[in-house]
């Protein structure tokens, strides 16, 4: 099937058309970075208005560029949560309107499922696989057992890892979003071993994460460096930050591999997804871990790690094939866990 996907859950307005064989016929992403930059983070009301302003034009462009147009569609998928409710409503209403007028099936996609299934779009990875989902709002380890079948093995008890990148970048005066800027800064480090930051959760028997302590450690170091630290100092500290995050992710994923194997002896791959998966250093660290464990390592191409609509269209393709469509009165879900059983645990992330 050919599916139009729409993504509006945060600060990217995006539309894409994807075919059943995994061909991305078109994918357009409009980042609202400039709209939010003055505030050092995403402002929900500004985001919702910007989605409303841009989405129609982006959908038109995605349809034009795809070469199939409205007539070639078999369904429309939109992110229906989790995310900022104003933006999600804009995307969902647009998708429903197209479906109502054209008599097409509507597919309500969980944004996290979009990230989780991207490796099947680009690499055709088979179920089951172990997934490290690392994004702006989430940090989870999941056994992905099928479409809509996720077993959460671990989650963050405080900040998400992307959030730690963003907050640390802000503390170091690097701006927003912090991930790419921290990565750039770390590459310029002259003495990457100069600072030693604590490695969160290392050695704990569970598969959970914690990043707020690391952020606090960055703040303390930043304070000793004074009001506007020199670029060399920022670079060395950014490198130390990467090392601590890498050590923690490797330790936590190592634990999860053991649990995953016990659940699924036939599982073959460690997959990483979400915006932070675009980080080259972390990709290299996780790739080495997978190799040691005898697992394939799969990371989406950089442009499909951060938010996009191709992943939403693809999740739509996978769901449509299984007959998993949704009624036009489907209500957006600002909170929507991938594994509803795990969400009842004390530290329930969305």
Binding site for ligand ATP (CB under 6 A): 10, 83, 111, 115, 135-138, 162, 165-166, 177-180, 183, 274-276, 278-279, 306-307
CB of 129 to ligand ATP, least distance (A): 18
Q: Give CA 95 to chain center in angstroms.
A: 22
11 makes contact with Mg ion (CB under 5 A): yes
Is 292 flagged in the annotation as binding?
no
10 makes contact with Mg ion (CB under 5 A): yes
Residue 349 touches which member of Mg ion, Fe ion, ligand ATP, none, C-beta under 5-8 Å by kind: none
Tokens of 217: 């450690």
Is 134 flagged in the annotation as binding?
yes
Question: What is the Cα Rg of the chain in Å?
Answer: 20
CB of 44 to ligand ATP, least distance (A): 12
CA distance 338 to 152: 8
Closest to Fe ion by CB, 208 vs 307, is: 307
DSSP secondary structure string for all residues of 267-281: --EEEEESGGGG-HH
Q: Determine contact, residues 172/188, Cβ cutoff 8 Å.
A: no
Closest to ligand ATP by CB, 98 vs 215, is: 215
CB of 11 to Mg ion, least distance (A): 4
First to last CA, the chain: 30
Closest to Fe ion by CB, 32 vs 135, is: 135
Is 111 flagged in the annotation as binding?
yes
Cβ neighbors of 106 (< 8 A, separation 6 or more) are: 75, 76, 77, 78, 95, 96, 99, 325, 326, 327, 328, 330
Candidates 5-13, 75-83, 235-243, 341-349; binding stretch for Mg ion (CB under 5 A) = 5-13
Closest to Fe ion by CB, 135 vs 279, is: 135
CB of 10 to Mg ion, least distance (A): 4
94 makes contact with Fe ion (CB under 5 A): no
Backbone dihedral angles phi then psi of residue 18, each to the nearest 5 degrees: -130, 140
Q: Determine contact, residues 48/84, Cβ cutoff 8 Å.
A: yes
The count of residues interacting with Mg ion (CB under 5 A) is 4
Is 133 flagged in the annotation as binding?
yes
Q: Determine contact, residues 179/278, Cβ cutoff 8 Å.
A: yes
Backbone dihedral angles phi then psi of residue 151, each to the nearest 5 degrees: -115, 115
Nearest to 298 by CA among 283, 314, 316, 309: 283
307 makes contact with Fe ion (CB under 5 A): yes
135 makes contact with Fe ion (CB under 5 A): yes
Closest to ligand ATP by CB, 106 vs 241, is: 241
Is 279 flagged in the annotation as binding?
yes
Is 298 flagged in the annotation as binding?
no
DSSP secondary structure string for all residues of 200-229: TTTT-SS--B--HHHHHHHHHHHHHT-SS-
CB of 123 to Fe ion, least distance (A): 19
88 makes contact with Mg ion (CB under 5 A): no
Half-sphere exposure of 230 (CA within 13 A, CB side): 5
CA distance 350 to 334: 9
CB of 140 to ligand ATP, least distance (A): 9
Interface pattern 293-322 for Mg ion (x via CB under 5 A)? --------------x---------------
Is 179 flagged in the annotation as binding?
yes
Phi-psi region of 159 (alpha: psi -120 to 50; beta: other; left: phi over 0): beta
Backbone dihedral angles phi then psi of residue 204, each to the nearest 5 degrees: -70, 145
Interface residues with Mg ion (CB under 5 A) are 10-12, 307
Binding residues for substrate, as ranges, are: 133-137, 166, 179, 183, 279
Residues belonging to the binding site for Fe cation are: 111, 115, 307
Residues that bind Fe ion (CB under 5 A): 135, 307
């Amino acid at each position: 099937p050919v599916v139009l996907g729409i993504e509006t859950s945060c600060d990217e307005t995006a539309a894409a058309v994807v075919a059943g064989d995994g061909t991305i016929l078109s994918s357009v992403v409009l980042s609202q970075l400039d709209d939010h930059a003055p505030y050092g983070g995403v402002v929900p009301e500004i985001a919702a208005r910007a989605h409303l302003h841009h989405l129609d034009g982006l959908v038109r462009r995605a349809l034009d560029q795809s070469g199939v147009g409205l007539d070639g569609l078999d369904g429309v998928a939109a992110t229906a949560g989790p995310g900022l409710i104003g933006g999600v409503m804009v995307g969902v209403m647009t998708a429903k309107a197209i479906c109502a007028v054209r008599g097409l099936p509507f597919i309500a996609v969980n944004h996290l499922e979009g990230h989780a299934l991207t490796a099947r779009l680009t690499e055709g990875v088979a179920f089951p696989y172990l997934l490290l989902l690392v994004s702006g709002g989430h940090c989870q380890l999941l056994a992905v057992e099928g479409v809509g079948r996720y077993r959460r093995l671990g989650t963050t008890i405080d900040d998400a890892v992307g959030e730690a990148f963003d907050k640390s970048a802000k503390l170091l005066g690097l701006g927003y979003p912090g991930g790419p800027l921290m990565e750039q800064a770390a590459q310029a480090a002259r003495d990457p071993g100069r600072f030693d930051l604590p490695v969160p959760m290392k050695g704990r028997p569970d598969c959970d994460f914690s990043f707020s302590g690391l952020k606090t450690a960055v703040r303390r170091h930043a304070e000793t460096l004074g009001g506007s630290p020199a670029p060399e100092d920022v670079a060395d500290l950014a490198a130390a930050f990467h090392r601590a995050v890498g050590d923690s992710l490797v330790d936590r994923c190592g634990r999860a591999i053991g649990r995953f194997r016990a659940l699924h002896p036939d599982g073959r791959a460690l997959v990483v997804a979400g915006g932070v998966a675009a980080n080259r250093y972390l990709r290299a660290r996780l790739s080495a871990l997978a190799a040691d464990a005898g697992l394939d390592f799969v990371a989406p191409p950089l442009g499909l790690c951060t938010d996009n609509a191709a992943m939403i269209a693809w999740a739509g393709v996978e769901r449509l094939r299984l007959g998993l469509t949704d009624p036009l009165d489907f209500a957006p879900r600002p909170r929507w866990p991938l594994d509803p059983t795990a969400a009842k645990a004390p530290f329930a992330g969305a």
